[in-house]
Amino acid sequence: MVGRHQDKRQPGSFSLEKCCLSTSILPLILFCCPTPTTHDDRCPGPLRGSKAGLRRALTPLPTLFLLPGCNSASCSSKLQSGEAVKCKGEKGARLSLLSGELCRAPEALLTDGIPILPRGLWHQLVEQWVMASQIQDRLTTDQDLLLMQEGTMMRKVRTKTWKKLRFFRLQNDGMTVWHARQADGIAKPTFSISDVETIRKGHDSELLRYLVEEFPLEQGFTIVFHGRRPNLDLVANSVEEAQMWMRGLQLLVDLVASMNYQEQLDQWVREWFHRGDRNQDGRMSFQEARRLLLLMNVEMDQEYALSLFQEADVSQSDTLEGEEFVQFYKALTKRTEVEQLFEHFSSDGQKLTLLEFVDFLREEQKEKDHAPDLALEFIDRYEPSESGRLLHVLSKDGFLSYLCSKDGNIFNQDCLPVYQDMTQPLNHYYINSSHNTYLLRDQLCGQSSVEGYIRALKRGCRCVEVDVWDGPGGEPIVYHGHTLTSRILFKDVVATLAQYAFQSTDYPLILSLENHCTWEQQRTMAQHLTEILGEQLLSTTIDGLLMDTLPSPEQLRGKILVKGRKLRTIEEVEVEEEEEELDKDDRSELDPDPYPVLDTQVQPESQELVSGNKDSKVLACPMACLLICGHILVHAPSSIPVSFFLSNQDCTTILCPDLSALVVYLRTAPFCSFTHSKENYHICDISSFSETKAKNLIKEAGNEFVQHNARQLCRVYPSRLRTDSSNFHPQELWNAGCQMVAMNMQTAGSAMDICDGFFRQNGGSGYVLKPEFLCDIQSTFNPEKPISPYKAKTLLVQVISGQRLPKVDDTKERSVVDPLVKVELFGVPEDTRQQETDYVDNNGINPYWGQTFCFRVRVPELAILRFVVKDYNWKSRNSFIGQYTLPWTCVKQGYRHISLLSRDGTSLHPASIFVYTCMREDLEVDES
DSSP state of 474: G
Q: Could you tell me which residues come within 8 angstroms of residue 366 by beta carbon, excluding any fewer than 6 positions away?
A: 892, 893, 894, 918
Q: Which residues pair with 620 in a beta bridge?
A: 641
Contact 476, 517 (CB under 8 A): yes
State CA 613 to chain mean position distance. 43
Name the β-bridge partners of 563: 512, 666
In the 8-state DSSP scheme, what is residue 226? S
Pairing of strands 646-647, 652-653: antiparallel
| CA 182 vs CA 91, 154, 220, 516, 888: distances in Å | 37, 10, 20, 49, 53
> Residue 874, exposed/middle/buried by CB under 10 A (0-12, 13-18, 19+)?
exposed
Question: CB of 523 within 8 A of CB of 590?
Answer: no
The catalytically annotated residue of 480, 528, 708, 897 is: 480
| Number of residues assigned to the chain | 928
Give the 3-state secondary structure of residue 171.
coil
Q: Which long-range contacts (CB under 8 A, 24 or more apart) does 574-578 make?
A: 576/609, 576/670, 577/629, 577/647
- 428 catalytic residue (yes or no): no
Rama region for 89: left / alpha / beta (φ>0; ψ in -120 to 50; rest):
left
Taking CA atoms, 904 is separated from 35, 43, 756, in Å, by 57, 49, 10
DSSP state of 729: -
C-alpha–C-alpha distance, residues 78 and 99, integer Å = 16
866: how many CB neighbours lie within 10 A of its CB? 18
Provide the 3-class DSSP secondary structure of residue 515: strand
**Cα–Cα dist 882/913, whole Å:** 10
CA distances from 442 to 224, 438, 448, 744 (A): 21, 11, 10, 9
Distance, in Å, from the CA atom of 504 to the CA atom of 331, rounded to the nearest integer, reads: 41
Phi/psi at 286 (5° precision): -65, -35
DSSP letters along 475-504, please?
A: --EES-TTSS---EEHHHHHHHHHHHTTSS
Q: CA Rg, the chain, in Å?
A: 32
Q: Confirm if 803 and 911 have CB atoms less than 8 A apart.
A: yes
Report whether 172 contacts 163 (CB < 8 A).
no
Which residues touch 59 (CB under 8 Å, ≥6 apart)?
Answer: 36
Q: How far is CA 571 from CA 381, 576, 610, in A?
A: 69, 9, 12
Instruction: Catalytic residue, from 435, 682, 708, 729: name it.
Output: 435
Quote the CA–CA distance of 759 and 456 in Å, as a whole number: 13
DSSP code at position 281: S
Residue 684 near residue 550, CB atoms below 8 Å: yes
Residue 893 near residue 404 (C-beta atoms within 8 A): no
Q: Which residues pair with 163 in a beta bridge?
A: 157
Tell me how far apart the alpha carbons of residues 878 and 853 are, in angstroms, rounded to a whole number. Answer: 20
| Cα distances (angstroms) measured from residue 41 to each of 3, 336, 426, 427 | 14, 36, 73, 75
Q: 10 Å Cβ neighbour count for 592?
A: 13
Active site residue 435: yes
Task: Show which residues are catalytic.
Answer: 435, 480
